[in-house]
Amino acid sequence: MNDGKLGFEDDLMLDVPAGGGRAVLQAISSHLAPCAQVPASLILDGLLAREALGSTGFGEGFALPHAFIPGLVTPAKVLVTLREPIEFNAPDDEPVDILLAVIWPHGQHEGFLQFLSKLCRVFRSKKLLAALRGVRSETEALNVLSAAVCTTSPSARSSVTASHGPLLR
């Protein structure tokens, strides 16, 4: 569907208690497993293996953990806000309190880097990150995300929504 909204209706985890990077990735894996129809342990292993290659910390308190997952049929993602920031080896040495985790079918690399690039363009906005830090409900978060997609260039918005409808609506 291409109606200009980010498709996060079922993909939000707000005010998650931290406890460290592994604990957050574990919570993400447990959240994604039921809809992804792959074991949480497989997702966690993929995310941890990717982090072992180098931090997916983006800067400004944002991280984009991602991994290719064997057995996954459809890409999935979840936006997470943390109750307190955690160390995540970000390039600016700032702790992370907002994560957007993306899992992608192993062996289906087409479109993956382009998709991550589009997400980075949206989430590099300091204004968006600040607004997400202030949300107290899923409704508020969805409003902030919808406003963010409206400020993204129409070509970026349409190309992502056209090729990855289940992820961005």
What are the catalytic residues?
66
Q: Which one-letter amino acid corresponds to residue 24?
A: V
Closest CA to 25 of 74, 64, 58: 64
Write the secondary structure of the chain as one string of H (helix), E (strand) and C (coil). CCCCCCCCCCCEEEEECCCCHHHHHHHHHHHHHHHHCCCHHHHHHHHHHHHHHCCCEEECCEECCEEEECCCCCCEEEEEEEEEEECCCCCCCCCEEEEEEEEEECCCCCCHHHHHHHHHHHHCCHHHHHHHHCCCCHHHHHHHHHHHHHHCCHHHHHHHHHHCCCCCC
